[in-house]
Amino acid sequence: MKKTSAEFDVIDFGSLPDTVNALLQQGVIAYRDDPARADALFRQALQAAPAQLPVYFCLYKIHTYQGNLDEAQAVAENGLREAARQAGWSADWRQWRPEPGIPDGPGRFALYTLKALAFINLRQNQPALARQKLDALKCLDPAGLVGWPVIAALADGVTQGGTAQDPQSDAMTQRPKPLLDDFLQPHQGLGVLRMAALLAEGECAAEEDDLDRMFGHMEAGALAGTPPSEIWPELARGLMSPAPAAMLRTLRDCGCLREILPEVAALFGVPHSYEDLGETDLGTHMLATLTEAARRHAPLSVRFALLVMNIGKIDSPPEHLPHHYRHAERAQPRIEALCDRFGVPPDCRALALMATTSVERVHRVSAVRAGPVADMLQQMGAFDAPTFYESLMLVCTCDYCAYDGRSGRDYPKAALLKTALDACAGLVPPDGVDEKSLEALRDARAMAIALIFRSLRWSPYGPA
């Protein structure tokens, strides 16, 4: 990789009249330094060829990036109507009906633009309008192939990612070529990130030529001045793809990962050993956890936690390796800083912070110490935040299954903790909670767990 001044190839907008294609190519180049000229070029193309869908796309993209949201909405709505006309659909997207598989051509452009309008609505602080469009897309594109689940994640604050689909279904096996929205970025470095995300969405490895171009842009300082808040949506898109590890490998190979996530890049080459689970490289293990998370259709919060939960281990004293004492104390401020830097959603932050202290505790949990198990369940939100707790259990499961030979297996400790949690059903805080009643509740839960474990061997409070 010696190219340090390579340019990305001319964007393939598909079959267009030569004059229109030339205007779009000029507009893409102009946008980097002169957005007003880009707008003029794209509008010239629109006037010349109002039936060419890529022209609408270019216009609403640049206005969305610039924050001209009303203009972006107007152009996108016009493009949506034109795409619907060409597809033979109603001009009202509420009347659209699902088709077998994912449509191509104008139909796919219409779905993609409906997703773009949902994002614009979010930027306009109109979440109800965004939700209407996202609900429609969930029916029209259940596999999320036009990328609406990432927008849904932004709308929810807590992503559900893609929905769990039958991996053998037609919708999951059809992977049309993505629209080239992806190098039309306000910062060239975002094009590198988008390329990596696209490869992950297509479950593809980067070709050598792709890596050369991306490496060249990184060497030329493509990410200099790129706001971290604009980097996060690209990371989220890649993390929610079917192959998040592919995105991270690409970013690492082209030098981008060490620029945007030096804490994560530093995981590679650090040895790690955990009791009977074996020894591994932390970076390689992190990639394997994300592969397992994608296989289990995990939400964004789980995938983010798996990405960052071990960054406290990158500078463990060499004499202690492959063990990492007190790594959570080092990890937590780094995760806080990383979340502040990128504007990571609160649910992702909370789960990642909990994972730093809880994953290894869950791996060690024993059926002979009922008191600490009750305490741990309380601390992890099992009694009062069940959705959060289930996400944490999924983090633990993916971490366990990332070790050699365990992919896809059931996680024994999750089953053990479910047994303990079920034993506490019906034991809830009484009205007028005080310290004495909470202690009685804790004791009652510990006793119930001890009975179900067939163990009355109580231990002082401490890690399970």
Phi, psi of 129 (to 5 degrees): -65, -40
In this structure, CATH architecture of domain 188-260: Orthogonal Bundle (1.10)
The pLDDT assigned to 254 comes to 83
Q: Quick one: DSSP state of residue 131?
A: H
With both helix axes pointing from N to C terminus, report the angle between 300-308 and 327-342 in degrees, rounded to the nearest 10: 130
Phi, psi of 220 (to 5 degrees): -85, 5
The pLDDT assigned to 427 comes to 81
- Distance, in Å, from the CA atom of 292 to the CA atom of 284, rounded to the nearest integer, reads 13
Domain 18-173 has CATH 3.30.2290.10: no
**From the DSSP assignment, how many helices (H) and strands (E) are in the chain?**
22, 2
Among 419, 428, 162, which Cα is nearest to 302's? 162
The pLDDT assigned to 272 comes to 80
> Which pair of structure tokens corresponds to residue 196?
């990596």
| Residue 229 CB-density burial (10 A; 0-12 exposed, 13-18 middle, 19+ buried) | exposed
Burial 276-290, CB ≥16 within 10 A → b, else e: ebeebbbbbbbbbbb
* Domain range list for the chain: 18-173, 188-260, 271-452
> Which pair of structure tokens corresponds to residue 425?
């059903």
Tokens 């949201």, residue located: 69
The pLDDT assigned to 327 comes to 82
Strand partners of residue 274: 278
The pLDDT assigned to 318 comes to 76
The pLDDT assigned to 154 comes to 67
Instruction: Please state the three-class secondary structure of 229-242 as a single string.
Output: HHHHHHHHHHHCCC
Rg (the chain; Cα; Å): 25
Q: Is 281 helix (H, G, I), strand (E, B) or coil?
A: strand
- Distance, in Å, from the CA atom of 314 to the CA atom of 309, rounded to the nearest integer, reads 11
Residue type for position 337: A
The sign of the torsion formed by the CA atoms of 311, 317, 323, 325 equals negative
The pLDDT assigned to 170 comes to 32
User: pLDDT tens per residue, the chain (464 residues)?
Assistant: 333 333 444 576 778 899 999 999 898 888 767 888 989 999 999 999 999 999 999 999 888 877 788 999 999 999 999 999 999 999 999 999 988 777 778 998 999 899 999 988 988 888 899 999 999 999 998 877 777 776 776 676 533 333 323 323 332 233 333 333 443 444 556 777 877 887 777 677 766 666 777 777 776 677 777 788 888 988 998 999 888 999 999 888 888 898 899 999 999 888 887 666 667 889 999 999 999 999 999 999 999 999 999 999 888 877 766 777 778 889 999 999 999 999 999 999 999 999 999 888 888 887 767 778 888 888 888 888 989 999 999 999 999 998 877 777 888 888 888 888 888 888 877 766 667 777 888 888 888 888 877 643 443 333 34
- Distance, in Å, from the CA atom of 282 to the CA atom of 167, rounded to the nearest integer, reads 29
The pLDDT assigned to 398 comes to 94
DSSP sequence for 360-374: HHHHH--TT-HHHHH
> Are 18-173 and 188-260 the same fold in CATH?
no
Among 189, 194, 174, 176, which Cα is nearest to 224's? 189
